[in-house]
């Protein structure tokens, strides 16, 4: 048996069965189909089915939420087409038809599906009040379905669900977490149902900037779009996007006959800034400007509402100083404020006394925690205590600084606490210093450091020669940098940062020795010390020397005593990059001619002596 709900709201199935003769043979099979794929609520749905053999059948209908309803059952003849029909009801969505055939204890089934649509025309009327409270009325009218069918099949007994749907649509449309339901109902004469909801747009950051945004809930869910949107804004409408169908100063309308594009709607209106003035005597007013244009005036205890175009920044400016008779009133803090959203600004004036701070050089001082450069005008209330900190050392730039001396009233500490009862002027005294950078790779220079401007200082080296060992040393050469000099000690006047570098010559001792003949060195050094890198030419004056009447020595080679290196030529070149100890090696040879002469002289002498003895003593006798 069919339930009452099925009869009234789902299909109102009429179990009418038509038979068309068809021979049934072969294996059991089931076919099922509908008259079309899509139906609107209220339309008649025809479901056809056929079983190839005689069978007992059940026809089931599955709804979008998974519920199953048995809409027909009974015996059917094989090969015969049957149909059932009924009215498409709520809820909208896909339907699945399942036909089960029971044949010889076996079940054969087949399915088909169709879709049921509910199309609602939805109109939105939006009223935005001055304080950004908003009322929205959503009106819904069914399309392609008569009001009576919609009411009986869907709305009756379920109205609260439709009202809740529209309330949720309203919250989504406004971009709010929640809205308040003010009113709901329906009209048979107007064939529609509606809700009226209220929300607060001022909680949205974009609205606080004067930009009002709406979002089509149907479009975002892929269910279509709002057919018509009418917006009235008490603050006024500057522009809107997309381009509206119609627009006046405070009202616009979008009529969406086709896809709206993005489903987003933007209105540019105004945001308000409340500018309050306190601290001025009654009757004393200050001017208020917006973006450097005079907007209005406000006095002490009064306020002015400044209206600014949505999405734009505004700079609100008041007079920094207001003079009234012999009195001065000054804004505490800055006399301007940059705004870009709804809010309130208060400018507070107070009667002031002034602290003037000057300095012989411009420096940055800290007054009550805020740093500012001299000269300073600092306004405070009478009797206020002010903490002023001047820098003990103020870095001006690389190698330049200012050093605190004292205050003009004799106070020697750079930080002080002052109670100001009346206007007061104080001065700072600083001396300028420059840094003298003395660089010395050997560490023997002195005189670097900070010096007062105009000082005459001495720069020098502690010693001119620095010995590394007996054969290696550094010897002072000159000063380079801002002053060039060969003198090891110089005096300079300090009027700017100065840099000096001590230049040293790296020297090695060169010992070239020859036992015979003179050694010639080019270049010549009287003390044997040579600068590193010197190209030294070494040569022997004579390659052969007679050392005795009978012997001669001849140059053989040079020998480096440190490395053992030999040089075969009497003249060679070498680069001095270490201590050198080189000695000439000689070979000795006999002189033959002097020896022959000597031998001859000796022989003659022997003969002469023999003859002398012969004649003197006669022939010797032989015994």
Is the per-residue pLDDT at 66 higher than 80? yes
More confident residue, 423 or 608: 423
More confident residue, 593 or 317: 317
Is the per-residue pLDDT at 259 higher than 80? no
What distances in angstroms separate CA 157 from CA 5, 90, 192, one per listed residue? 11, 12, 16
Is the per-residue pLDDT at 249 higher than 80? yes
- Non-local CB neighbours of 585 within 8 Å, separated by 6+ positions: 555, 556, 557, 558, 559
Q: Of how many residues is the chain composed?
A: 623
- Non-local CB neighbours of 9 within 8 Å, separated by 6+ positions: 89, 90, 152, 153, 154
Q: Contact, 240 vs 174, CB < 8 A?
A: no
What is the share, in percent, of the chain residues with pLDDT greater than 70?
A: 93
Give the confidence band of 8 by pLDDT, cuts at 50, 70, 90: very low
Q: Are strands 535-540 and 571-575 parallel, antiparallel or unpaired?
A: antiparallel
Give Rg (Cα) of the chain: 59
pLDDT for the residue 75: 96
pLDDT for the residue 262: 86
The top-scoring range by mean pLDDT among 146-160, 317-331, 375-389 is 146-160
Is the per-residue pLDDT at 330 higher than 70? yes
H-helix or E-strand containing 604?
helix 592-617
* Sheet hosting strand 535-540, strand order edge to edge: 519-522, 535-540, 571-575
- State the CB neighbour count (10 A cutoff) for residue 138: 25
Domain(s) labelled CATH 2.60.40.10 in the chain stretch across 271-351
Residue environment code for 311-320, b if the CB has 16+ CB neighbours within 10 A, otherwise e: beebebbbbe
Extract the tokens encoding 545. Answer: 């020397």
Q: Contact, 147 vs 191, CB < 8 A?
A: yes
pLDDT for the residue 576: 92
Domain(s) labelled CATH 2.60.40.2550 in the chain stretch across 4-117
pLDDT for the residue 22: 33
Q: Which of 6-10, 547-551, 592-596 has the lowest mean pLDDT?
A: 6-10
What distances in angstroms separate CA 583 from CA 161, 539, 544, 548, one per listed residue? 119, 11, 16, 22
Q: Which fold has domain 353-430?
A: Immunoglobulin-like (2.60.40)
Q: Which of 48-57, 260-269, 545-554, 561-570 has the lowest mean pLDDT?
A: 545-554
Is the per-residue pLDDT at 619 higher than 90? no
Q: What is the pLDDT of residues 488-506, one digit of tens each?
A: 999 999 999 999 999 999 9
pLDDT for the residue 1: 28
Q: Which of 136-150, 170-184, 281-295, 584-598 has the lowest mean pLDDT?
A: 584-598
Is the per-residue pLDDT at 289 higher than 60? yes
CATH number for the domain whose boundaries are 271-351: 2.60.40.10
pLDDT for the residue 596: 67
Q: Please, what is the average pLDDT of the chain? A: 89
pLDDT for the residue 6: 34
Give the class (CATH, top level) of 4-117: mainly beta
Give the confidence band of 9 by pLDDT, cuts at 50, 70, 90: very low
């Amino acid at each position: 048996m069919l339930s009452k709900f099925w009869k009234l709201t789902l299909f109102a199935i009429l179990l009418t069965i038509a038979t068309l003769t068809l021979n049934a043979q072969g294996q059991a099979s089931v076919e099922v189909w509908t008259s079309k794929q899509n139906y609107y609520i209220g339309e008649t749905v025809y479901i056809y089915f056929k079983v190839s053999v005689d069978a007992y059948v059940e026809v089931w209908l599955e709804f979008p939420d998974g519920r199953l309803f048995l809409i027909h059952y009974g015996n059917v003849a094989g090969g015969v087409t049957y149909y059932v029909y009924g009215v498409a009801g709520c809820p909208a969505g896909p339907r699945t038809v399942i036909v089960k055939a029971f044949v010889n204890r076996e079940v054969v089934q087949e399915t088909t599906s169709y879709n049921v649509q509910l199309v609602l025309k939805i109109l939105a009327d939006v009223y935005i009040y001055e304080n950004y409270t908003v009322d929205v009325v959503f009106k819904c009218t069914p399309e392609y379905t008569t009001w009576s069918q919609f009411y009986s099949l869907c709305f009756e007994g379920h109205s609260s669900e439709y009202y809740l749907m529209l309330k949720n649509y309203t919250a989504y449309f406004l971009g709010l977490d929640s809205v308040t339901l003010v009113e709901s109902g329906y009209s048979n004469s107007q064939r529609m149902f509606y809700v009226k909801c209220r929300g607060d747009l001022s909680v949205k950051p974009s609205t606080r900037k004067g930009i009002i945004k709406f979002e089509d809930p149907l479009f975002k869910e892929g269910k279509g779009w709002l057919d018509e949107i009418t917006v009235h804004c008490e603050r006024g409408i500057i522009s809107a996007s997309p381009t509206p169908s119609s627009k006046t100063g405070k009202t616009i309308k979008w009529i969406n006959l086709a896809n709206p594009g993005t489903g987003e709607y933007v209105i540019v209106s105004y945001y308000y800034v409340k500018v309050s003035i306190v601290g001025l005597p009654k009757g004393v007013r200050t001017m208020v400007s917006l973006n450097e244009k005079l907007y209005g005036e406000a006095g002490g205890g009064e306020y002015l509402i400044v209206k600014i175009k949505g999405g734009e920044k505004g700079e609100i400016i008041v007079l920094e100083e207001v003079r009234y008779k012999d009195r001065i009133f000054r804004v505490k803090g800055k006399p301007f404020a940059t705004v870009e959203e709804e809010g309130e600004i208060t400018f507070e004036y107070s009667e002031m006394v002034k602290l003037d701070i000057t300095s012989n050089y411009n420096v940055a001082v800290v007054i009550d925690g805020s740093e500012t450069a001299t000269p300073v005008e600092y306004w405070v209330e009478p009797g206020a205590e002010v903490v002023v900190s001047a820098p003990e050392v103020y870095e001006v730039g690389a190698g330049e600084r200012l050093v605190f001396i004292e205050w003009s009233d004799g106070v020697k500490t750079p930080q002080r606490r002052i109670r100001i009862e009346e206007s007061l002027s104080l001065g700072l005294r600083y001396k300028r210093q420059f840094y003298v950078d003395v660089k010395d790779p050997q560490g023997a220079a002195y005189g670097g450091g900070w010096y007062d401007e105009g000082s005459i200082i001495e720069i020098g080296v502690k010693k001119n020669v620095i010995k590394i060992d007996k054969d290696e040393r550094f010897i002072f050469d000159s000063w380079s940098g801002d002053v060039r000099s060969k003198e090891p000690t110089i005096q300079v006047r300090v009027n700017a940062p100065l840099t000096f570098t001590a230049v040293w010559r790296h020297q090695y001792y060169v010992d070239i020795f020859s036992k015979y003949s003179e050694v010639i060195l080019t270049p010549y050094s009287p003390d044997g010390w040579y600068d590193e890198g010197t190209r030294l030419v070494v040569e022997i004056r004579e390659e052969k020397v007679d050392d005795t009447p009978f012997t001669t020595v001849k140059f053989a080679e040079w020998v480096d005593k440190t490395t053992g290196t030999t040089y075969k030529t009497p003249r060679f070149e070498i680069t001095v990059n270490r201590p050198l100890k080189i000695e000439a090696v000689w070979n000795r040879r006999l002189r033959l001619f002097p020896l022959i002469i000597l031998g001859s002289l000796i022989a003659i002498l022997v003969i002469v002596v023999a003859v002398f003895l012969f004649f003197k003593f006669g022939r010797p006798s032989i015994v």
